[in-house]
C-alpha cells in the first residue's frame, strides 16, 4: 500500500471529495467566523486523478458513502487542472482584479517559480509586479511588509517553507505585530506562501513543517490547501484578506489533478472542509495527510467502520465550530498530522479540543504525528517518519474498541 504512495501527487488516495455545504450551516459559520466574505459556492464532485492505480479510485467512489444533500448545481462542467495551476489561476485572477497585487520571491519572474506557480505572470504583468528578489528571505519578507504598509498587496513566495525560518524575525516581530502596535494605522495585507512538508527525499532542511513554528504568532492567519479546488479558493481569499495570511502548500501535492468550476469562487479562510461525513470517529487532518487518511478510510470502510474525515484547512484559527459539531456526533477524535509530536498543530488542536469539548469525548484524543527527529534522507527512513495509512487504520480500530 505504501508503494502506491510513491507516485508523485499521491492522488490515488483521495479524492472523491464531495464538498456539499448545507447552506444554513454555512450561513451560521459566516456569522460566527471573522470574515464577512460571502463565498459563492458550487457543489463540486471532484474526480480522481488519472494516475496509476486508478482502479483504487473506482473503489473509493463506490465505497465511500457520500451524503449529497443538494443535487449538483453546477451548470458548467468546469475544467481540469493541476494544483499548482489552480494556484496560478487564483493568483492571476486576483492580479487582474486588483492592480495592487504583486508577487515577490526568488525566481518567480522569468523562471516562473520553482514550482511553476507564477509561470507566465512576469510576461503578462511585467517584472516589477512579479519581482525576482536576491536571496535574502528576511529582507524580501521585510520588503513585502513595507510595500504592504504603503498600500500594495504583495504575495511573498518562499522557495521552500523552510527558508522562511530566516524570515521569522520579520514575520513575527513586524508582520504579525505592526497593525497592532501602530494602533491600527498601518495594515499588512500580505500573503506568505510556499511549499513545505516532507517531500521525496529532500533532506531535513527542505522538509520543515513551519506551521508548528508559526502557529503561536499573534496577528497572522494560517491556512493549508490540499486540493486544486481549495488551493485556488484559499489563494484568492488570502489575497483579499486584510490580515497577513500564511498559505501552506505541500511539495508533493502540486501535481494533483482535479476538475474545478469555471465560475469564480472564493473560499472562507477560517473554515474546515468536510471530506467524508461519518458516524464512528472524527479524523482531523490537513494537507498531504488528508490523502493518507482517505486511503486508510477505504480500508476502514471495508472493515465496517464509518470515519468522518475533516480537512481542517484553517490552521490558525481552528474551525472549532465544524470540529465541535463532528465531535458531538462521534465522540472520538483522531488527529493525523505531519508535524512533529512536540509543539505541532496536532498538539495545539488536542489542547483546544480538550478545553472546549471535553464532555463530549468518550476516549482521550489520539494524535498521530511525525517523530521528533529531523527528516532523514534515506527513503525508507523518511517513510517511517511520516504517518502511514496502516497506522491510521490501527489507531481507529484501537479508538473504536
Partner 1 sequence: MAIWQFVGKRVANYFTVSTTTFRSLRPLINGDSSPVNIFGYRRFESSKAGQQLDLVSSDDDEEQNQGVDFPGGRVGFTSEMSFLHKSSKKRVQCYRVLDDNGYPLSSSQYQHVNKELAVKMYSGMLKLQTMDTILYEAQRQGRISFYLTSYGEEAISLASAAALSGDDLIMPQYREPGVLLWRGFTLHEFVNQCFGNRNDYGKGRQMPIHYGSKKHNYFTISSPIATQLPQAVGAAYSLKMDNKDACVVTYFGDGSTSEGDFHASLNFAAVMEAPVVFLCRNNGWAISTPVTEQFRSDGVVVKGQAYGIRSIRVDGNDALAIYNAVRVAREMAIKDQQPILIEALTYRVGHHSTSDDSTKYRPIDEIENWKTARNPVSMFRKWVQRKGWWSDEEESEFRANVRKEVIQAIQVAEKTEKPPLDYLFSDVYEEVPINLIEQERLVRETVKRYPQDFPKDVPM
What CA–CA distance (Å, rounded) separates 5 from 53? 10
Rg over CA atoms, the chain: 20
Q: Is the dihedral of CA 91, 96, 102, 108 positive or negative?
A: positive
Yes or no: say if 54 and 30 are a contact pair by the CB < 8 Å rule.
no
Q: Does the protein bind partner 1 through residue 31 (CB under 8 A)?
A: no
Least Å from the CB of residue 143 to partner 1:
3
Those residues with Cβ within 8 angstroms of residue 181's Cβ, 6 or more apart along the chain or in another chain: none
Question: Whose Cβ is closer to partner 1: residue 134's or residue 304's?
Answer: 134
**Strand ranges (DSSP E) for 177-253?**
191-196, 221-224, 245-250
Question: Whose Cβ is closer to partner 1: residue 68's or residue 99's?
Answer: 99
Q: What is the DSSP string of 62-121?
A: HHSPP---S----SS--EEEEHHHHHHHHHHHHHHH-TTEEEEETT-STT--TTSTTTTH
**Stretch 305-324 residues interacting with partner 1 (CB under 8 A):** 317, 320
Among 148, 161, 231, 332, binds partner 1 (CB under 8 A): 148
Question: Whose Cβ is closer to partner 1: residue 104's or residue 300's?
Answer: 104
Yes or no: say if 121 and 88 are a contact pair by the CB < 8 Å rule.
yes
Among 144, 158, 195, 346, binds partner 1 (CB under 8 A): 144
Task: Give the number of residues in contact with partner 1, rule: CB under 8 A.
Answer: 52
Axis crossing angle, helix 23-32 with helix 320-330, rounded to the nearest 10: 130
Q: Which of these ranges, 30-38, 111-119, 329-337, 368-376, lies near partner 1 under the rule CB under 8 A?
A: 30-38
**Stretch 98-117 residues interacting with partner 1 (CB under 8 A):** 102
Catalytic residue among 89, 137, 258, 337: 137
Among 28, 65, 73, 136, binds partner 1 (CB under 8 A): 136
Backbone angles phi, psi at 89, to 5 degrees: -60, -45
Among 54, 114, 139, 391, binds partner 1 (CB under 8 A): 139
Question: Whose Cβ is closer to partner 1: residue 124's or residue 200's?
Answer: 124
What CA–CA distance (Å, rounded) separates 374 from 207? 8
Q: Is 179 labeled as catalytic in the residue annotation?
A: no
Nearest to 286 by CA among 214, 354, 338, 352: 338
Q: Does the protein bind partner 1 through residue 147 (CB under 8 A)?
A: yes
Alpha carbons within 13 A on the beta-carbon side of 75: 1
| Binding map of partner 1 across residues 187-226, x = CB under 8 A, - = no contact | x------------------------------xx-x-----
Q: Does the protein bind partner 1 through residue 150 (CB under 8 A)?
A: yes
Nearest to 284 by CA among 387, 374, 385, 375: 387
Q: Does the protein bind partner 1 through residue 50 (CB under 8 A)?
A: no
Place of cell 457543489: 43
Question: Whose Cβ is closer to partner 1: residue 152's or residue 368's?
Answer: 152
Torsion angle of C-alpha atoms 251, 256, 258, 262, degrees rounded to 10: 40
Q: Does the protein bind partner 1 through residue 142 (CB under 8 A)?
A: yes
Among 78, 87, 113, 129, binds partner 1 (CB under 8 A): 129
What CA–CA distance (Å, rounded) separates 280 from 277? 10
Question: Whose Cβ is closer to partner 1: residue 17's or residue 326's?
Answer: 326
Q: Is 110 labeled as catalytic in the residue annotation?
A: no
Question: Whose Cβ is closer to partner 1: residue 156's or residue 294's?
Answer: 156
| Binding map of partner 1 across residues 358-387, x = CB under 8 A, - = no contact | ------------------------------
Contact set with partner 1 (CB under 8 A): 32-36, 102, 128-129, 131, 133-134, 136, 138-152, 154, 169-170, 173-174, 177-187, 218-219, 221, 241-243, 270, 317, 320
Please identify every residue annotated as catalytic: 137, 206
Amino acid at each position: 500500500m505504501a508503494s502506491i504512495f510513491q507516485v508523485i501527487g499521491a492522488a490515488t488516495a483521495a479524492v472523491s471529495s464531495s464538498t456539499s455545504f448545507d447552506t444554513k450551516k454555512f450561513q451560521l459559520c459566516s456569522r460566527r467566523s471573522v470574515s464577512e466574505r460571502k463565498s459563492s459556492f458550487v457543489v463540486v464532485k471532484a474526480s480522481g486523478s488519472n494516475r496509476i492505480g486508478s482502479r483504487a479510485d473506482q473503489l473509493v467512489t463506490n465505497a465511500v458513502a457520500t451524503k449529497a444533500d443538494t443535487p449538483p448545481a453546477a451548470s458548467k462542467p468546469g475544467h481540469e487542472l493541476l494544483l499548482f495551476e489552480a494556484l496560478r489561476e487564483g493568483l492571476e485572477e486576483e492580479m487582474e482584479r486588483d492592480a495592487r497585487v504583486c508577487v515577490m520571491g526568488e525566481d518567480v519572474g522569468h523562471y516562473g517559480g520553482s514550482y511553476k506557480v507564477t509561470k507566465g505572470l512576469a510576461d503578462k504583468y511585467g517584472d516589477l509586479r512579479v519581482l525576482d528578489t536576491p536571496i535574502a528571505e528576511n529582507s524580501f519578507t521585510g520588503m513585502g511588509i513595507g510595500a504592504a504598509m504603503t498600500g500594495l498587496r504583495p504575495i511573498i513566495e518562499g522557495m521552500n517553507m523552510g527558508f522562511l525560518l530566516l524570515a521569522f524575525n520579520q514575520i513575527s516581530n513586524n508582520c504579525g505585530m505592526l497593525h497592532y502596535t501602530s494602533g491600527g494605522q498601518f495594515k499588512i495585507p500580505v500573503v506568505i506562501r510556499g511549499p513545505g512538508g516532507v517531500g521525496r527525499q529532500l533532506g531535513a532542511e527542505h522538509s520543515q513543517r513551519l506551521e508548528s513554528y508559526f502557529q503561536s504568532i499573534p496577528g497572522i492567519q494560517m491556512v493549508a490547501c490540499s486540493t486544486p479546488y481549495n488551493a485556488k479558493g484559499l489563494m484568492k481569499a488570502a489575497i483579499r484578506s486584510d490580515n497577513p495570511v500564511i498559505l501552506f502548500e505541500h511539495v508533493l501535492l502540486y501535481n494533483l489533478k482535479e476538475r474545478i468550476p469555471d465560475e469564480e469562487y472564493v473560499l472562507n479562510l477560517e473554515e474546515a472542509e468536510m471530506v467524508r461525513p461519518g458516524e464512528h470517529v472524527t479524523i482531523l487532518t490537513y494537507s498531504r495527510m488528508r490523502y493518507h487518511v482517505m486511503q486508510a478510510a477505504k480500508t476502514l470502510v471495508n472493515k465496517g467502520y464509518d470515519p468522518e474525515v475533516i480537512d481542517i484547512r484553517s490552521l490558525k484559527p481552528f474551525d472549532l465550530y465544524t470540529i465541535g459539531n463532528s465531535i458531538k456526533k462521534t465522540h472520538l477524535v483522531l488527529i493525523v498530522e505531519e508535524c512533529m509530536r512536540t509543539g505541532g498543530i496536532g498538539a495545539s488542536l488536542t489542547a483546544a479540543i480538550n478545553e472546549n469539548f471535553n464532555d463530549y469525548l468518550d476516549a482521550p484524543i489520539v494524535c498521530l504525528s511525525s517523530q521528533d527527529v529531523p527528516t532523514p534522507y534515506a527513503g525508507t527512513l523518511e517513510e517511517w517518519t511520516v504517518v502511514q495509512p496502516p497506522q491510521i487504520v490501527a489507531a481507529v480500530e484501537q479508538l473504536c474498541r
